[in-house]
Each structure stands twice: as C-alpha cells, then as structure tokens.
Homo-oligomer: A and B are copies of this chain.
C-alpha cells in the first residue's frame, strides 16, 4: 500500500499541487493566491485539490511541513560526522544549495517567517525550531570544544546564521541571479567569518 500504484499516483498529484502552490504563493502571497489558480497551474481539477487537502490553509501548512522537513533533512546530512567549524560551513553550503534548488519555497519562507498573527504561525515556529536546532547543536559543540568563541550566544548566533543565509541567498536569486553560487558562498562566508 505504500509503493502501491494508486498511492504513488496520489503522492504525485500532491507533489504537483505543492509545486504550483509554492510558486504562486511566493510571488503573490497566500491570500492573493486563489485555489483556482493553484489547480490551474497544477493542471488538476479544483475538486482534486479538495480531495487531497481539507482546505487551502491545510494545503499551505502541509507545504510548509514538507519544505522545511526537506531542509532540516539536508542540514542533518550535511553536518553528519564533521567537526564543528567544518560542519558550520557545510551547513551554509547546504542552505545555499537548498535555496537554489527550491528558490520559490525559500522566498515564501522569507516572507512568512517573521510575520505574526497568522493561522499557521505556530506550525511555522515549530518547524523553524527544528531547522535552527541542527545549527544550534553544531554551534554548541563548537563552543564546548573551544573551536568557537565562548562568549557566543548560541541561540542568537544560530538564528542569525539561519536568517542571514536566507536573506543573502534569496537576495542573490532575486537581484543577481547570474552570479555563481560559489561567489555567493564566498560573500556569505566573508560576512560570517567570525562565527564560521
């Protein structure tokens, strides 16, 4: 039933809906994006949207879970077995790679992450915690092992690293898409050299 043809097909439809939704919402925002638009872009009937998700908000929340889940996964893979400072660089690279690959999702995240009073806010805070958690553990190890300055506030530094990577990378994609990723990585490292 997992690898069953039917559920694979369904998963495929959901995937297409995610992709359509993510692009539209990144461009226009959640409220300005209509369910009809999403269905149209995903080349799916409107009924299908509601067969697969219980509401527009639900689709969006699942989307957030899906996207941030992938990012967190990449973070985990990136740091695996590496010593703190190397791990930190690996994290930055992983974040850049991820953002390049899922540009629209990154844009969307940047737009929604620091908003307040929206229905999905709690979901987002939780997901944020998971992703930043991976960074925080690495920073903590660095501080413990003396590789990083002891006066570093782990929570602040981790959140800052996450945010900095996000803006710089999205800024790159939006305003200077021709630059090579290596350039961007270099610029980013130049900026955060003190902690990474």
Residues on A close to B: CB < 8 A? 26-32, 107, 110-112, 114-118, 152-153, 155-157, 159-161, 163-164, 166-168, 170-172, 174-176, 179, 183-184, 187-188, 190-195
Contacts and interface: CB of A to CB of B under 8 A. Distances in A.
Contacts of A111: 110-112, 114-115
A111 B30 CA distance: 12
A110 to B, nearest CB: 5
Nearest to A117: B27
Contacts of A31: 28-32
A154 B74 CA distance: 31
A114 B118 contact: no
Given A157-B191, A160-B187, A163-B168, 16 more contacts: A27-B118, A28-B117, A28-B118, A30-B32, A31-B31, A31-B32, A32-B118, A110-B114, A111-B111, A163-B164, A164-B167, A164-B168, A167-B167, A191-B192, A191-B194, A192-B194
Nearest to A25: B115
Nearest to A192: B191
Which residue of A115, A159, A171 has the most chain B CB atoms within 10 A of its CB atom? A115
A187 B32 contact: no
